Structure 1
Amino acid sequence: MRKARVTVIGSLNVDMVTVTSTIPEQGETVQGDRFATLCGGKGANQAIACARLGAEVRFIGCVGDDTFGRMMLDNLQQEQIHTEGVDIISEVASGTASIIVNDGDNRIIVVPGANGLLTPDHIRRHAETIRSSDVILMQLEIPLPAVREALSIAAESHVPVILNPAPAMPLTDEMLAHVSILTPNEHELAALFGGDDSEQAFEWKTAIRSMPGRIVLTRGADGAYWSDTACHLHHQPGYEVNVIDTTGAGDTFNGALAVLLAEGNSMDDAVHGAVAASALAVTQFGAQSGMPTRSRLEQQLKED
């Protein structure tokens, strides 16, 4: 069986991760426990998740002509990801993310850098890559015009698109019409529908059913929810694991979902596998280090 062909269009960041037992107050200095410089970005994370699970992965994005940019390209290539679609932009810094990990959870500040220079023209230059894919996987850490152009090319060629709408923001009806599957968390789902996830008035179950078969909602330790085309709500429970670092859990979920659906698995099986993969990912430090191989995921699924 040939490998699933997944094209990931998105961000590449260097993650500067600080682990601390104490979050500083305004103006306060505290001593951290651990620091690391790691390759990340939602796009790169999702691409590596796909590659580890056995897909043939192509990446479209931008990095700066700097040490971080070269580091991130080398990292993708070591994972056997095709990087012909990555532009190296002169006189612009590569994207960065400052991450504070506390008690297994994280807070993140992203500076887009070269990611903000991904243009519709860049997307058009790689239109054939999009057309020859089994599935396109995107996020929103790149400019919306580039996302819109990729959606249009994929729609013309009947290539399914999985869009992870992160960071949270509203999207036009035209863009949503070209998305095959949306994978928000609860906060992102509320933003898509113009609501507030902190308000009791926002009913996420109703929102899922409003786009039957097209929304897979991730809820952390609670697993994932989705509706079928008959508007029946499904739930895949999460796994009880020793959580070390949640950074990259959602990206692992998206990568696994893309690969498993591209291989022709049912939504039930694909979501089950994606939840299992994300659970494995949080048991190690760093966004990419815990992403499972296909053999490790299959072992976990056999143990269920």
Structure 2
Amino acid sequence: MGKIIVIGSAAIDFMIETNELPTRGKTVLGKRFNTSMGGKGANQAVAAARMGASVTMIGCVGTDHFSDAINSNLANNQINVDYMERVTQSTAGTAFVILNNQDNQIIVVPGANAELTWEKVAPSLKKIAIANDLVILQNEIPLETNLAIIKFCEQQKISVLYNPAPAKKISTNVLKQITYLTPNEHEFKQLFPNQTLEQILPHYPNKLIVTLGERGVIYNDGSKNQLIPANQVQPVDTTGAGDTFNGAFAASIITQTDLETAIKRGNQAAALSVQAKGAQTGMPTLNAIQEKENSDVTEVE
């Protein structure tokens, strides 16, 4: 069995909970403030590792104490951080998350993540990647880096899961080179403007997997579009739900699990994750998922 290589962002999240969002020129009082670990790359790495996958992360951090905390957190989650490069010209990446009425708004400051060039990635990736590995990418590092990684992986027959968040326009040639594309509904609309899911999904069977929040996940299985319903829960904080889905889906699919089962596992993990505050705080372990699945079977019986 191969390993998962996450190439992407790592950050510190600064989270503010408020009952009222500020408008221009207005100050409002918040309810709570805390910090937590984030960055879409790190989130997905943690989610996959907690699901039992062997995970290595390639990325950039600074030399500040936030960067120390990022690497320590990854290592504490059993993620290989040997290829997290320190850059002196930038601080750690940061994200500012505003929680309001069970929804979130996020501002990302890339920091050291913007320094992750192909020239920095290439030596590490060429050293550790083999044909049965899965590389996970997101859009919180330079697009040019992602495109070079995708090209390399296609040449080496390495599977790529590309989570296009935040959305950036990519060519149809790039879509052909990747194995899985996992936008949410908003990102799908940016990637395929003025086109519907029903129009686009049949063109990318078993590749384009669109997350629809509380409605679930939709994809085309080669014959028809399939909607996999979400697990219904009362969310506390949706931050990191998409990252949890991607990490859990990846950890499942790399074990040769079929696509539908891997999506269901991702849905289950995401549902558990939104019942705690913070991107990584609620990410479940494989044991927690299996216990929930077993209890669901018992209830049905």
TM-score, normalised with respect to structure 2: 0.95
Q: CA deviation at 1:202?
A: 2.9
1:1-304 correspondence to structure 2 within 5 Å: 4-126=2-124, 127-131=126-130, 134-193=133-192, 195=193, 201-230=194-223, 232-302=224-294, 303=296
Distance, in Å, in 2 between the alignment partners of 1:183 and 1:202 is 17
Distance, in Å, in 1 between the alignment partners of 2:209 and 2:248 is 13
What is the DSSP-based 3-state SS (H/G/I as helix, E as strand, rest coil) of the residue aligned with 2:219?
strand
Distance, in Å, in 2 between the alignment partners of 1:123 and 1:243 is 37
Unpaired runs of 5+ in structure 1? Answer: 196-200
Unpaired runs of 5+ in structure 2? Answer: none
Preserved contact between residue 62 and residue 86 of structure 1 (Cα < 8 Å): yes
Q: CA deviation at 1:148?
A: 1.4
Q: CA deviation at 1:128?
A: 2.6
Q: CA deviation at 1:78?
A: 0.5
Distance, in Å, in 1 between the alignment partners of 2:39 and 2:129 is 20
The runs of at least 4 aligned residues of structure 1 exceeding 3 Å deviation read: none
Q: Deviations over 1:250-296 (max 9, x none)?
A: 00000011110000100110001101110100000000000000011
Q: Deviations over 1:164-210 (max 9, x none)?
A: 001011102332221101000112112222x0xxxxx5312221122
Preserved contact between residue 6 and residue 133 of structure 1 (Cα < 8 Å): no
CA gap of 1:133–1:286, structure 2 versus 1, over 3 A, is farther
Q: Deviations over 1:42-72 (max 9, x none)?
A: 0000000001000110001101111111110
What letter is aligned with 1:285?
K
Alignment length, in residue pairs? 295
Identity level (%): 37
Q: CA deviation at 1:37?
A: 1.1
Q: CA deviation at 1:132?
A: 5.7
Distance, in Å, in 1 between the alignment partners of 2:227 and 2:266 is 13
What is the DSSP-based 3-state SS (H/G/I as helix, E as strand, rest coil) of the residue aligned with 1:85?
strand
Distance, in Å, in 2 between the alignment partners of 1:223 and 1:92 is 38
Give the structure 2 partner of residue 198 of structure 1.
Answer: none
Q: CA deviation at 1:219?
A: 0.4
Distance, in Å, in 1 between the alignment partners of 2:132 and 2:242 is 22
What is the DSSP-based 3-state SS (H/G/I as helix, E as strand, rest coil) of the residue aligned with 2:61?
strand
Preserved contact between residue 163 and residue 183 of structure 1 (Cα < 8 Å): yes
RMSD: 1.3
What is the DSSP-based 3-state SS (H/G/I as helix, E as strand, rest coil) of the residue aligned with 1:255?
helix
What is the DSSP-based 3-state SS (H/G/I as helix, E as strand, rest coil) of the residue aligned with 2:260?
helix
What is the DSSP-based 3-state SS (H/G/I as helix, E as strand, rest coil) of the residue aligned with 1:128?
helix
Distance, in Å, in 2 between the alignment partners of 1:174 and 1:12 is 28
Q: Deviations over 1:204-263 (max 9, x none)?
A: 222112212211100000010111123x11111112212110000000000011110000
Preserved contact between residue 9 and residue 137 of structure 1 (Cα < 8 Å): yes
